[in-house]
Chain A
Amino acid sequence: MTSEKTKTEAKTKMLKISLEKTGLLFEKLSAAGKLYIPVDGAAGASFEKWDGKAGEANKFEMKMSSAHNTVKSAKDVFFPQTEDLMRFRVNGKKIEVTDCSDYLNNSNNSNNSDVARADNSAQNEKTANNIILFGVRACDVKSFEVLDRVFLSEPCDTYYKARRERTVIFSMACAAPRETCFCTSFGIDPSCPEGDVSCIADGKYIYFEIKSEKGERLMSSLSDMSDISDILESIGDSDPESVASRRREIKRRAERLPLSGVSTEPFGAGTTGRYFSSPAWEELSATCLGCGACTFVCPTCQCYDIKDFDTGESVVRYRCWDSCMYSDFTKMSAGQPRLTRLERFRQRFMHKLVYFPENNDGLFSCVGCGRCLASCPVNMNIVKVMKKLGGGAGD
């Protein structure tokens, strides 16, 4: 895990807030950084920047979604669907490179001879640089660990790192997991999510448990704000037990989910030989459209493309999400190693279930969030793959 995530072991420091005061809390949080919360929209829930203006009697326009989870994960907060990486000014035979990364505006390292760094004097307000992600489910918190493995491993992706480092995650325990959920298969506890501040709601209150120094820092910066004591309360004597019983109830619900029995046991490092040539891929991939829906809603998919765009004045080199399901993903002038839909389909699942754990100490790059089950146009998904292959079709 990331180094900044030093857990404040055992020392449980809990606070609570009455549910009707969440809007007031969001107002405070948005003063401490750029706040994202899940909100309802025409296409279901999505993480949006909170800008709920306070109206009468502290009623805020922007409310937290009541949906179980967002249609897309919050990964684009760290890894946007498109982002400008650098800008080239081409003048005859000469080229000039400018790094576009936003973090340059607020970091002290500059003066790289070959990279013209942006001026950093303009933006110096400390808090404006914080990002606060509120209401992240346990599966998605885990997905950030998967993304960290990719982007923060050497050589570290500084665009990702800059955003990741200044983000404080308020996770939220699940209340009513969906029929598509199977996070417990990956050892994730939906009742007690990781994160910088772990939250759980019981219908009356949201309870906050600080889990990292980063969370601690943010919460203490809140305590300096005026009238925060009217919003955040200390917990009472009976609260720990009511939280514990709430967690037990969520766990019980998770155990009874229809997909809770999906097993990762047959997969992991060293199983390539067992599954790669399985005849099951044929049937599994037969009706796959080869679209990128699964990869784009997936919290752990992180493949990207780098492309140039000529604005007329300069060439912008940008990065955008890419999908291993796309036919041109591995196409090169000299040939195409994954020519068929079957090969591309296989790559996606082998990567999540075998290759990734092989390179990352057994960590699967699926967190069981169930988004692909909900979004796939043909309802083909990782659960079906795991059941079919794990059920012996591979041998």
Chain B
Amino acid sequence: MTETAKKKEPLVPLVAQIVGIRTDTPDVKTFKVVNTDGKKPFSHIPGQCAMLSVPGVGEGMFSITSSPTNEDYMEFSIKRCGALTSFLHGVEEGQQITLRGPYGNGFPVNADFVGENLLFIAGGIGIAPLRSVINYCRSFRERYGRIDIVCGARSPRDLVDRDEALGEWAKDRDIGVHPTVDRADKNEDGWEGHVGFVPSYVKELGFSPDRTAIICGPPVMIKFTLEGLEELGFDKSRIYTTLEMRMKCGIGKCGRCNIGSKYVCRDGPVFRLDELDALPDEY
């Protein structure tokens, strides 16, 4: 870190601007963000997060969904669930927000993942942090082995990044995209894909355990998927997940996002399953 960067107060954010809004599902929108000079606010590692805020409304931690290889802007896929997210869902392009980060460790895309066959498993908005990794890996396709992506949602219209996943990703050679939905009305949604929960679909697909698995989704999905993967013979040291906790500072100081001695904002949000097993059962 440079001397000037050091002196800067980490809690003071920079001003950024929403320059694009895409409606993914009835409750998820993806926001394209640049700084006031029209450039990408800062660089990041896939899996890292940023504190996004609208003054007077709130501040929240969101994973950066765009790939670091995107040099022009940053994207956040945000599900409407609280005050801040509801506000964001109501804004128009040109709205300024504040941003600070990047926070967290990110995925070991240039270390442990290199040369590995990768299996991404996402449930609902859980695709948000994985999208950054997936697109990063697609940019450096030669570094990684086979890539499979299982993505699930409550219904076809709740599938986040549906066009990208079923379009761009599925077209790639050596990438298998396996979408599934909890339930679908064939007449209404025109869904011809798989219907069923993510954990059982993963077992059904019967992936061989010589892969690195990366999971993100609601806690209950993660729990049952992990059980499924262990049944398939996956080693805990090769399963990664990313956690969500209440955060205020993002820098391991405000004291609320710890699990045992690990702070999710600083030491996470990406953890290997064997690391999580060593932590107290508080999540």
A residues near B (Cβ < 8 Å) are 85-86, 88, 90, 93-97, 99, 101, 107, 109, 112, 114-115, 150-151, 153-159, 272-273, 276-277, 302-306, 308, 310, 315, 317, 319, 322, 324, 329-335, 337-338, 343, 347, 350-351, 354-356, 358-359
Contacts and interface: CB of A to CB of B under 8 A. Distances in A.
A315 B58 CA distance: 11
A351 B11 CA distance: 23
Contact of B12 (A86, A90, A310): A86
A155 B280 contact: no
Q: Give the residue among B58, B246, B252, B282 with the most A Cβ atoms within 10 A.
A: B246
A359 B12 CA distance: 26
B173 interface: no
B192 interface: no
Q: Is the interface of A mostly helix, strand, loop or mixed?
A: mixed
B254 A304 contact: yes
B253 A115 contact: no
B187 interface: no
Contact of B96 (A94, A109, A338, A347): A94
B56 A310 contact: yes
A329 B256 contact: yes
A93 B9 contact: no
B274 to A, nearest CB: 15
Contacts of A322: 248, 254-256
23 contacts: A93-B95, A96-B15, A97-B15, A99-B12, A101-B9, A107-B7, A114-B35, A115-B14, A153-B252, A154-B6, A156-B10, A158-B7, A158-B8, A158-B9, A277-B280, A303-B254, A306-B254, A317-B55, A322-B254, A332-B246, A333-B82, A334-B81, A358-B261
Contacts of A329: 246, 256
A357 B11 CA distance: 25
Interface in B55-94: 55-59, 81-82, 85, 91-92, 94
A95 B55 contact: yes
Contacts of A302: 253, 255
Nearest to B99: A114
Contact of A324 (B9, B96, B255, B283): B255
A330 B58 CA distance: 15
Nearest to A319: B11
A359 B219 CA distance: 27
